[in-house]
């Protein structure tokens, strides 16, 4: 089967197929890029919320330990997470438990590189 577009009607027919498909493909690419940016922003917001929780005064040590553990899900921020975990000064009754979790998170991220 050979395509021989010799008449204007054949060209118009093919354009009627190709142009909508090209527009659909462009639209799909644009939608995917937009969604990816939204997801990246949501990931950053979650990361910021976790680090903000760790830095706040008060709150339970257990919730801060869970937040420190949750930081392992963000390897793209490994450099800053490692600095936070290694340099955080923890005070209070259960400070050792939280400090151990922070150091474990730092070690996990170092090993994941």
Among 63, 39, 41, 43, smallest CA distance to 53 is for 63
In a domain, 89, yes or no: yes
In a domain, 3, yes or no: no
Please count the structural domains in the chain.
Answer: 1
Rounded CA gap, 106 and 99, in Å? 11
Give pLDDT tens digits for 30-75.
999 999 999 999 999 999 999 999 999 888 999 999 999 999 999 9
The sign one gets for the Cα dihedral 9, 12, 17, 18 is: positive
Region of 91 (left: φ > 0; alpha: ψ -120 to 50; beta: rest) is beta
Q: Which of 8-12, 25-29, 31-35, 101-105 has the lowest mean pLDDT?
A: 8-12
Tell me the CA end-to-end span of the chain in Å, nearest whole number. Answer: 54
In a domain, 51, yes or no: yes
pLDDT bucket at 2, cuts 50 / 70 / 90: low
Rounded CA gap, 43 and 54, in Å? 17
């Amino acid at each position: 089967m050979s395509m021989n577009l010799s008449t204007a009607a054949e060209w118009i027919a093919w354009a009627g197929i190709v142009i909508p498909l090209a527009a659909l493909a462009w639209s799909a690419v644009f939608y995917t890029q937009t969604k990816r940016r939204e997801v990246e922003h949501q990931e950053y917001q979650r990361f910021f919320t976790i680090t903000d929780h760790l830095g706040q005064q008060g709150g339970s040590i257990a919730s801060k330990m869970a937040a420190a553990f949750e930081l392992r899900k963000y390897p793209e921020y490994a450099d800053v997470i490692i600095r936070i975990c290694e340099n955080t000064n923890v005070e209070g009754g259960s400070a050792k438990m939280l400090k151990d979790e922070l150091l474990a998170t730092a070690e996990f991220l170092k090993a994941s590189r």
